[in-house]
Chains A and B, each alone.
Chain A
Amino acid sequence: DAGITQSPRYKITETGRQVTLMCHQTWSHSYMFWYRQDLGHGLRLIYYSAAADITDKGEVPDGYVVSRSKTENFPLTLESATRSQTSVYFCASSESMGPQYFGPGTRLTVT
Chain B
Amino acid sequence: SQQGEEDPQALSIQEGENATMNCSYKTSINNLQWYRQNSGRGLVHLILIRSNEREKHSGRLRVTLDTSKKSSSLLITASRAADTASYFCATATKTETSGSRLTFGEGTQLTVNP
Contact = CB atoms under 8 A, between A and B. Distances in A.
Interface residues of B, number: 26
Interface stretch (A12-20, A40-48, A69-77, A78-86): A40-48
Contacts of A31: 99-100
A48 B98 contact: yes
B88 A42 contact: yes
B42 A97 contact: no
Contact of B42 (A45, A49, A103): A103
B25 interface: no
Contact of B92 (A48, A50, A54, A97): A97
Chain B contact residues: over half helix, strand or loop, or mixed? strand
A56 B88 contact: no
Contact of B98 (A54, A92, A97, A98): A54
B88 A98 contact: no
A83 B45 CA distance: 31
B41 A42 contact: no
B102 interface: yes
B11 to A, nearest CB: 15
A102 B107 CA distance: 16
B101 A58 contact: yes
B99 A41 contact: no
Contacts of B97: 56
Contacts of A64: none
B18 to A, nearest CB: 24
Given A48-B101, A96-B99, 5 more contacts: A55-B98, A90-B42, A97-B92, A98-B48, A100-B45
Closest 6 CB pairs of A and B: A102-B42, A56-B98, A99-B45, A50-B99, A42-B104, A50-B98
9 contacts: A41-B107, A42-B2, A45-B102, A48-B101, A59-B103, A99-B33, A99-B45, A100-B43, A100-B90
Interface of A: 30-31, 33, 35, 41-45, 48-50, 54-56, 58-59, 90, 92, 96-105
Interface of B: 2, 30-31, 33, 41-45, 48, 88, 90, 92, 94-95, 97-107
